[in-house]
């Protein structure tokens, strides 16, 4: 069915099954949201160190589990007559048992891995990068070119990163370096405001990682921001965007970026595709006083 309330973008919501997907026409591209499963994270990952009374008030309208959260992983695929562009590569087989279902869901959407022409990275965390290699360390997308922001590339390729990122994320650095080494000869780099591919513009959104990038596609009534993890959940990131998040490597910069993006998205009513947002990740941002609210594409 076509969903109302989305300006010029015609959006269809598939059945809510393991291979459910959301589709739309964005500029010259067909947009498809494809699931890579979900993460399983302790509640403390999101909420430790925050003022508990105000936290309870901020979360009162959300039906969140009390022990662990299971944020979805939504990858963006854009395709036209010339290209099949995948944003991020998913977790692959070794990061988390609940994730790594991308290939099955691409197949359900009628997209073969060897048909992907380009993989564009928002950042180098495991659930976005590790899926470039399979169980045998072969390339999952053998015919693709790869694209990563120069700042992000330099960070994960720096041998000092493993010693400075912190003990809990040291494995991220080791895993990223190995995978980036495997695709180095197919990699191109870009900077803020660059046109990465035709009609796809890079937007610096640093903070979650040192070189995290978002992307703008289309324009006017059918503009879409592919936000990666710059806006990392549908609850506290919207209700208290100025609060520092433990998910961000630079919590203060991450909060500044989040507030800036939410303000822009609410003002311009641009579609947002969020990697960890619910129901396929596609929706708009509504302003609620000094906070915001995620409005799903099917509402």
pLDDT band at 17 (very low <50, low <70, confident <90, very high): very low
Neighbours of 267 (CB within 10 A): 10
User: In angstroms, rounded to a whole number, what is the distance separating the alpha carbons of residues 216 and 228?
Assistant: 12
Task: Tell me whether residue 160 is exposed, middle or buried, using C-beta atoms within 10 angstroms of its C-beta: 0 to 12, 13 to 18, 19 or more.
Answer: exposed
Helix (H) or strand (E) holding 164: helix 161-164
Across the chain, which distance is largest between two alpha carbons, in Å?
53
pLDDT band at 219 (very low <50, low <70, confident <90, very high): confident
Per residue in 103-133, pLDDT tens? 999 999 999 999 999 999 999 999 999 999 9
Give 68's strand partners: 42
User: In angstroms, rounded to a whole number, what is the distance separating the alpha carbons of residues 71 and 86?
Assistant: 20
Helix (H) or strand (E) holding 238: helix 236-239
pTM summary value: 0.93
User: In angstroms, rounded to a whole number, what is the distance separating the alpha carbons of residues 76 and 281?
Assistant: 9
Per residue in 47-67, pLDDT tens? 999 999 999 999 999 999 989
CA 146 centroid distance within chain: 16
Average pLDDT over residues 290-295: 96
CB 240 within 8 A of CB 136: no
CA 215 centroid distance within chain: 10
Domain boundaries, the chain: 11-55+67-296
Q: DSSP letter string over 119-138?
A: EE-S--SHHHHGGGB-TTS-
Give 147's strand partners: 120, 188
Give 190's strand partners: 149
- Share of residues in the chain with pLDDT > 90 (%): 87
CB 215 within 8 A of CB 147: no
The pLDDT assigned to 19 comes to 38
Average pLDDT over residues 134-149: 98
5, pLDDT greater than 60 = no
Strands 200-204 and 213-217: antiparallel
Q: Please, which residues have CB within 8 angstroms of residue 59's CB and are 6 or more apart in sequence?
A: 235, 236, 239
Per residue in 68-94, pLDDT tens? 999 999 999 999 999 999 999 999 999
* Fold (topology level) of 11-55+67-296: Metallo-beta-lactamase; Chain A (3.60.15)
Report the chain's mean pLDDT, rounded to a whole number: 92
């Amino acid at each position: 069915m076509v969903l109302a309330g989305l300006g010029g973008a015609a959006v269809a919501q598939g059945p809510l099954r393991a291979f459910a997907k959301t589709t739309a026409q964005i500029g010259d591209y067909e947009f498809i949201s494809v699931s890579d499963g979900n993460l399983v994270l302790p509640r403390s990952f999101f909420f430790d160190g925050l003022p508990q009374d105000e936290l309870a008030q901020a979360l009162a309208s959300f039906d969140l589990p009390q022990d662990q959260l299971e944020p979805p992983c939504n990858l963006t695929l854009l395709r036209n007559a010339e290209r099949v562009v995948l944003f991020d590569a998913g977790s692959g087989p070794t990061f988390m048992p609940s994730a790594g279902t991308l290939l099955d869901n691409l197949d359900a959407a009628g997209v073969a891995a060897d048909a992907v022409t380009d993989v564009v990275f928002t950042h180098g965390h495991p659930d976005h990068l590790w899926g470039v290699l399979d169980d045998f360390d072969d390339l999952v997308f053998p015919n693709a070119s790869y694209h990563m922001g120069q700042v992000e590339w330099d960070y994960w390729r720096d041998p000092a990163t493993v010693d400075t990122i912190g003990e809990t994320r040291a494995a991220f650095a080791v895993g990223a370096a190995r995978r980036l080494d495997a695709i180095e000869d197919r990699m191109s780099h870009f900077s803020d405001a660059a046109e990465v591919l035709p009609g796809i513009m890079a937007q610096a959104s640093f903070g979650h990682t040192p070189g995290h990038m978002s992307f703008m596609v289309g324009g006017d009534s059918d503009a879409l921001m592919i936000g990666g993890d710059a806006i990392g959940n549908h609850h506290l990131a919207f209700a208290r965007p100025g609060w520092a998040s433990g998910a961000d490597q630079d919590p203060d910069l991450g909060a500044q970026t989040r507030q800036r993006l939410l303000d822009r998205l609410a003002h311009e009513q641009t579609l947002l595709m969020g990697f960890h947002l619910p129901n396929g990740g596609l929706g708009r941002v509504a302003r609620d006083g000094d906070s915001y609210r995620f409005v799903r594409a099917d509402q």
